[in-house]
Amino acid sequence: MTIPSLALFGIMIPILSLINEGIGTLPAVIALVLYSQLPIIRNTYTAINNVDPDIRDAANGIGLTTFQRLYKVELPNAIPLIMAGVRTATVLNIGVGAIATLIGAGGLGGIIYQGILRNNTTMILAGALSVAVLALIADLFLRLIENLFTPKGVKK
């Protein structure tokens, strides 16, 4: 997370140009995958770690195996927080994805970039809005999925 996105793209290019993939979609995809890891891993870890020790204790006490405990108790209770991590990563990636155009990976960022080059505020706005709307839709969609998979008793 600490590594700036453009810098990561930048560092990707010379490394990937060793296999002739320096510019284009591949460095963008790799950088975005790397970027998504932190919020998702962090939230998943926190979520499972935060499951009430008493609940875990009770699960052990009634004889669940480690796998059963994870699958039946810990994961269902952790879903809201895990999904929050997925949503953060997605919204973040859509924003960073807009920068990917600068390393020749195309995408909606291209509209913004063209707007900058031509000093065309309408174009910039159009690009910015489409990226924002895309992020909002993705967020909404993921919330829907979260809602679908969260057990009733775990919802606030």
Partner 1 sequence: MERTNKTIALIIKLIFWGLLAAFFVWAFTNSMFSTIVEQPDTFFRLLGEHVTIVLLSGAAAVLLAVPLGIFVTRPKFRKSEWLIIGIANLGQTVPSLAVLALAMGFLGIGISAAIVALFVYSLLPIIQNTIAGIDSVDDDMIDAAKGMGLTNSQILWKIELPNALTSIIAGVRTALVINIGTAALAYLVGAGGLGVWIFTGIRLFDNAFLMSGAVPVTLLAILIDYLFKWLQFALVPKGLRLARKAQNS
The footprint of partner 1 (CB under 8 A) covers 1-11, 13-15, 17, 22-23, 91, 94-99, 102-104, 109, 112-113, 115-116, 119, 121, 124-125, 127-128, 131-132, 135-136, 139
Short-list 10, 15, 141, 6, CA closest to 86: 141
Q: Minimum distance from CB of 124 to partner 1 (Å)?
A: 4
Q: What is the DSSP letter of 24?
A: S
89: Cα separation from own chain's centroid: 2
- Cα separation of 101 and 112, whole Å? 9
Nearer to partner 1, 40 or 96 (CB): 96
Closest to partner 1 by CB, 78 vs 112, is: 112
CB of 58 to partner 1, least distance (A): 20
Report the residue number, 59 or 112, with the smaller CB distance to partner 1: 112
Distances (CA, A) of 146 to 37, 90, 94, 138: 19, 14, 19, 12
Q: How far is the CB of 114 from partner 1 (least distance, A)?
A: 10
Measured CA angle at 156 (ends 148, 85), to 5 deg: 60
Report DSSP state, residue 150. Answer: S
- Residue number with CB closer to partner 1 (15 or 55): 15
